[in-house]
Amino acid sequence: MSEILNAYKAEVSEELENILNYWVDNTIDEADRGFFGKIDNDNKVIPGSPKGSVLNARILWSFSAAYNQTYNALYLGVATIAYLYIIDHFIDDVHGGVYWTVDHQGKPLDTKKQVYASAFTIYALSEYYKATSDEAVLVEAKKLYYLLVEKSYDAENTGYLEAFTRQWAPIADLRLSAKDANEKKSMNTHLHVLEAYTTLYTIWPDEGLKTQIDTLLHNFTEHIIDSKTKHLVLFFDEEWNAKSDTVSYGHDIEATWLLLEAAEAIHHEELIEKVKGICIEISEVTLEGLDKDGGLWYEYEPSADHLVKEKHWWPQAEAMVGFYNTYQITGDEKWLKLSIGSWGFVKQHILDHENGEWFWGIYADGSVMATEDKAGIWKCPYHNSRACLEVMRRISLNRD
C-alpha cells in the first residue's frame, strides 16, 4: 500500500508541474496583460477573445495554491499577474462585484453580476492572501463577501440568488451558460459560494461568516441533496422547490469533499459526522455514472432515461479527490482503487501528451472533443491542478 500511494503521489506531483508549466508557457498575454481569453484544442490562440472572470480567478487560485504547497516562486509570480489583472479589470469600482467578462484589452464587456464569479474571486483572493499576507488582498475578499451577503443572500428562504445587473438590480437571464436552467438558485453557485467562504474562513474566522457556512451546509443537507436518490438537485426556485432532475456525476463527487472540508473548517462536530455519512452515500450513487474504463460520464437525465455519453476532464479530476476522500473516511481500499482508476483514465484518455494540458473530454467512442477549448471561459487549470494538489496533500497526511 505504501508503494502504491508513493507512486500515485509521484505521478500527480509530476502532472501538477506539467499543467502549470503549460499555462506559464502558453497562456500569458504579453501584449494586453493577463491571460489569453481562448486557446483552441490545437493550442492556437484565438485573437480578440473575451477574457472571463471565472477563468482568471481560477488561474489566481491554482497558482496561489500551488505556491502555498510547493513554495515554487514561479507560481507566485504568475498568481500575481492574475491578481493584478483581476483588480485592475474585473472588479467594478463603481457598483462593486465582478464583471462576467472583459474584452481582450480589459474593457468591461458583459457587466452582469453573476454570484458564481464573485464566489470564485473570493476563493482566489483568499488563497492568494495565504501566499502573500497582503492585507489589501484580504480587504478586497471581505468587500466581495459583504456585498454578496447584502445583495444576493435570501434572508427569508436562505441561500443565494444567481445573478443581477451591473447595478445589482434583478435580471431576467440568470443563467451561467446556455445549457443551464433560468432559475433563481442553483446547486453550482451554492457549492462554490461554500467553497469560497470556507477558504475565506481559514484566514478570517469571523462569526458571521461561520454562520453563513453553517447555513450553506444546511442548504445542502435539507434542499440540494435529494433525500431519495442522494444525487444533487441542480436548480431551484426562490423557495427551494426543485426545478431539475438532471444528475451531474462530477458535481456529486465534487460536493462530497467540499462539504466535509467546510464542516471541518468551522469545527462543527455534529455536522462533520453527518456529512461523512452523506459523503459515503453520494459516492455510492456516483458509481452509477462510472464506466468500466474508469471514466465518469457527464450527466444523466432520468425523465428521458438519457445518459450524456461524454467524459469531460473535470469530473475525472473531482473523482480522483472525492473517491480518495471517501477512502479516508471509510478506510475501505475500494475507494482508493477507484481514485487511482480515475487517474488511470485521465492518463490514458484525457492528457494531451503532444500539446500539453488536458483535453476537454472524449466521446463514447473514445474520440477527443476536438472542437472544445484547451483554455477559455470555462477551461482552466483549477480542477486538474487542484486534484493533483489534494491527492499530494492527502497522501502526505497519511504519512504523518
- pLDDT band at residue 1 using 50, 70 and 90 as cut-offs: confident
The predicted structure's pLDDT at residue 397: 87
Tell me the pLDDT tens digit for each residue of 184-199. Answer: 999 999 999 999 999 9
246-258 pLDDT per residue, tens: 999 999 999 999 9
| SS3 category, 186 | strand
Across the range 91-98, mean pLDDT stands at: 98
Q: Span 61-65, mean pLDDT?
A: 98
Q: Using one digit for the tens of pLDDT, what is the confidence trace for 284-312?
A: 999 999 999 999 999 999 999 999 999 99
Q: How far is CA 20 from CA 23, 26, 74, 277, 320, in A?
A: 5, 10, 10, 35, 18
Q: What are phi and psi of 225, to 5 degrees?
A: -85, 120
Cα separation, 140 vs 87, in Å, equals: 9
Which residue spans within 9-144 are E strands per DSSP? 39-40, 51-52, 101-102, 108-110, 113-114
CA angle 97, 214, 133 (to 5 degrees): 55
| pLDDT confidence of residue 358 | 98
pTM of the model as a whole? 0.98
pLDDT at 400 over 90: no
Contacts of residue 172, Cβ cutoff 8 Å, sequence gap at least 6: none
Distances (CA, A) of 211 to 238, 243, 267: 20, 27, 12
CATH architecture of 2-399: Alpha/alpha barrel (1.50)
For 121-151, the pLDDT digits (tens) are 999 999 999 999 999 999 999 999 999 999 9
Confidence of residue 104 (pLDDT cuts 50, 70, 90): very high
* DSSP state at residue 297: P
Report which of 196, 290, 182 is spatially closest to residue 244, judged by C-alpha positions.
182
Q: Specify the pLDDT at position 36.
A: 98
